[in-house]
Chain A
Amino acid sequence: MSDVGGISFGPTVDLLNNAVEGAGREQVQLANNLANVNTPNFRRSTVSFKDALAASLGAPANPDELTMATDDDRQFNINGAVAPVAYDPKAQVDETTQMRVDRSNVDVDQEMAQLQQNSGYQETMAALLKNQYAWLRESIEEQTH
């Protein structure tokens, strides 16, 4: 999902694309949790797409640490760097909490708060993405609007 049609417009655009896409996935799960607010035995599920986003960036090596030279992927890399992981967020069922006597664990207030938060996050990321595209368009057309 990081690039459309094989064209990448840079890491920032890819990251924002993934953020918008992940928020869409999260919205599906939150809507499903709310739809089943009166379903007995229902377990809520969420998408930890922000963790997947962080993992897709990886982490650079700590400059204060001594690094160990490696010449093969199978050797341990002891410099604190974390390799980027392909962005693939998955929905997970939350089996851990208990909210109500009908064994459902949906808390409407919490779901509504998360829904608002997710929606605001998605709109923010979409606005940033729109800016990125506007800059790209300016570069392509060599003029400002």
Chain B
Amino acid sequence: MAGGFYNTIEISASALSAERLAMDVIANNIANANTTRTPQGGAFKRQLIVFAQTPEGAPQPDNGFPAFGANGSAFSSDVNKTEPNVEGVQALGIVNDNSPDRMVFDPGNPEADARGYVHYPNVQVVKEMVDMMAASRAYEANVAAIQETKSMDAASLGLLQS
């Protein structure tokens, strides 16, 4: 159903929950920025959230970077003629960032390894703050989209009033 207003709000709501999950993951990264011990052993690993559109991979050009038109020519006006079935966004999962740990030379620390280095998580707080701003702005944009949809909804309902 392509024209339903409630469907539109659901699409924006899917982004709200996805961005909120992203905020949770980022908050967890910042909270564990100095955690040296985890149940899995070793320092905490930075986590990343993976977004995908629903249904997964609907409109999908896979012809390299930059994106070209359907016939391979740049700046083509060719567009996909089939109507995409849009249902918003979903969080596919949370994956670990396997970049190297932050090593700090601190032989007195009980967590230090044989060479006197402590393995700290690969979390960069500044990077997390930037990611948090991106998630926050995306959340705000989707809240604004819901408000616009609501005002359109009200205009349609107003047709019933004389």
Q: Chain A interface (Cβ within 8 Å of chain B)?
A: 20-21, 23-25, 27-32, 34-43, 45, 90-98, 103, 105, 108, 111-112, 115-116, 118-119, 122-123, 126-127, 129-130, 133-134, 137, 145
B72-91 at interface with A (beta carbon < 8 Å): 75-81, 83-84, 86-89
Is B61 a contact partner of A95 (Cβ separation < 8 A)? yes
Instruction: Report A-chain residues with C-beta under 8 Å of the C-beta of B161.
Output: 130
Chain A proximity of B13: nearest CB distance (Å): 9
Which one of A35, A122, A129, A134 lies within 8 Å of B142 (CB-CB)?
A35
Which one of B9, B60, B80, B144 lies within 8 Å of A92 (CB-CB)?
B80
Instruction: Report B-chain residues with C-beta under 8 Å of the C-beta of A123.
Output: 151-152, 155
Is B86 a contact partner of A42 (Cβ separation < 8 A)? no
Cβ of B19 under 8 Å from chain A: yes
Is A32 a contact partner of B11 (Cβ separation < 8 A)? yes
Cβ of B134 under 8 Å from chain A: yes
Which one of B52, B61, B148, B152 lies within 8 Å of A39 (CB-CB)?
B52
**Chain A interface SS verdict (over half):** helix
CA distance A8 to B65 in the complex (A): 50
Is B162 a contact partner of A145 (Cβ separation < 8 A)? yes
Is A36 a contact partner of B81 (Cβ separation < 8 A)? no
Q: A27-B149, A30-B145, A112-B141 are in contact. Are A35 and B2 (CB under 8 A)?
A: no
Is A31 a contact partner of B145 (Cβ separation < 8 A)? yes
CA distance A94 to B75 in the complex (A): 11
Is B75 a contact partner of A130 (Cβ separation < 8 A)? no
Q: Which chain B residue lies CB-closest to A30?
A: B145
Q: Could you jot down 10 A-B contacts, CB within 8 Å?
A: A23-B152, A31-B142, A31-B145, A34-B12, A37-B138, A37-B142, A38-B89, A103-B67, A119-B149, A122-B152
User: Which 9 pairs show the lowest CB-CB distances between chains A and B?
Assistant: A35-B15, A126-B155, A32-B86, A93-B59, A93-B80, A24-B3, A119-B148, A123-B155, A39-B51
B122-146 at interface with A (beta carbon < 8 Å): 134-135, 137-138, 141-142, 144-145
Instruction: Report A-chain residues with C-beta under 8 Å of the C-beta of B22.
Output: 38
Is B51 a contact partner of A40 (Cβ separation < 8 A)? yes
Is A115 a contact partner of B145 (Cβ separation < 8 A)? yes
Chain A proximity of B152: nearest CB distance (Å): 5
Q: Which chain B residue lies CB-closest to A111?
A: B141
CA distance A39 to B60 in the complex (A): 12
Cβ of B158 under 8 Å from chain A: yes
CA distance A28 to B156 in the complex (A): 15
CA distance A119 to B152 in the complex (A): 6
Q: A24-B4, A28-B3 are in contact. Are A95 and B80 (CB under 8 A)?
A: yes
Q: A36-B89, A122-B152 are in contact. Are A27 and B76 (CB under 8 A)?
A: no
Cβ of B114 under 8 Å from chain A: no
Is A96 a contact partner of B155 (Cβ separation < 8 A)? no
Which one of A21, A92, A93 lies within 8 Å of B3 (CB-CB)?
A21
